[in-house]
Amino acid sequence: MPIDLRTRLGHVELPNPVLTASGCAGSGRELAQYFDVAKIGAVVTKSVMLAPRAGRPTPRMAETPSGMLNSIGLQGPGIDAFLQRDLPWLLSRGARAVVSIAGGTVGEFAELAARLSDASGVTAVEVNISCPNVEHRGQVFACDPDASAEVIEAVRGRLRYDVPVFAKLSPDVTDIVTIARACVEAGADGLSLINTLLGMAIDTVTMRPVLAGVTGGLSGPAIRPVAVRCIWQVREALPDVPIIGMGGIRTGRDALEFILAGAAMVSIGTTIFHDPSACVRILRELEEELASRGVERLTDIIGLAHEPHPAPGRRLSRSSL
């Protein structure tokens, strides 16, 4: 019998839990050369801003052990081109589109939400609050519960009521649960955990920073345990809030680990650079992992690791508990 992989993104049902991670899949077009983008749960698009943006100078990337640093600077075409070209393309392919938005002010986030309200076919909005707040000395929204809440409230207020809002949180905070709670209280329907960790590399030949932007976001399997910890903590505190888990997922087994920690969906990011067809491979592997454990429904095991260990010999499935 096929395994029921359906999962819920807020009140929206997805056929399976494997998504792309924002910034690692463009708007799906490039990856469509490798797999059918309608086959995965959803395509989470690269963060779009109001205006076109050129991004940072090069070098923008450095390979690190089991990871990479990036400092792209949110290069993108702006919301007009996105709505005119990228979103219609995704929808024409039958893909579900989760649109990631980024801004430098609360007002910019609100305006993006308003623009997306007028567009049809947006499955959900992921709010990238790991951006510097230009009105507050460049402090990153996601590092402050009040600033995070302000952005989410503004987006929720301007977006159509039936489009779920997910807040994407940064792990570079003292207590991620405080930020998570602030976002949920401000109206977030769900949370995306985690964004990259701030990192840096120095070239020992030139004796200068490798990245033109000096610091960059660390991603890849190197950050996987940090992601699992963040998801665990947030699930423990807010068990009813749906979580999109991400951070170094490379295999179906990694995806399963995130689901057990409490993620209802997983996003595949840096691994796409290594393996452009990773999303469909991980989906297949996840299905195999579930089958080998006798799991019939994905939703049965979301957050299962939080439950007390069953007696020896019992199947690790909630339906049998």
Active-site positions? 131
Q: What is the nearest approach in angstroms of other proteins to the Cβ of residue 271?
A: 7
Let me know: does 73 contact 55? Beta carbons within 8 Å. Answer: yes
Segment (H or E) for 8: strand 7-9
Q: What is the nearest approach in angstroms of other proteins to the Cβ of residue 299?
A: 30
For other proteins, the closer of residues 75 and 317 by Cβ is: 75
For other proteins, the closer of residues 28 and 245 by Cβ is: 28
Residues in contact with other proteins by the rule CB under 8 A: 23-26, 29-31, 33-34, 46, 51-61, 63, 65-68, 70, 72, 75-78, 80-81, 84-85, 212, 220-221, 270-277
Report the distance separating Cα 193 and Cα 97, nearest Å.
Answer: 18
Please list the alpha-helical segments (H only) found in the chain: 79-81, 87-92, 106-118, 145-158, 176-185, 224-237, 252-261, 270-274, 278-292
For other proteins, the closer of residues 47 and 123 by Cβ is: 47
Q: What is the nearest approach in angstroms of other proteins to the Cβ of residue 128?
A: 15
How many Cβ atoms from other residues are within 10 Å of residue 226's Cβ?
18
For other proteins, the closer of residues 31 and 151 by Cβ is: 31
3-state secondary structure of 216: strand
Q: What is the nearest approach in angstroms of other proteins to the Cβ of residue 110?
A: 21
Let me know: does 34 contact 292? Beta carbons within 8 Å. Answer: no
Structure tokens at 283: 């989906």
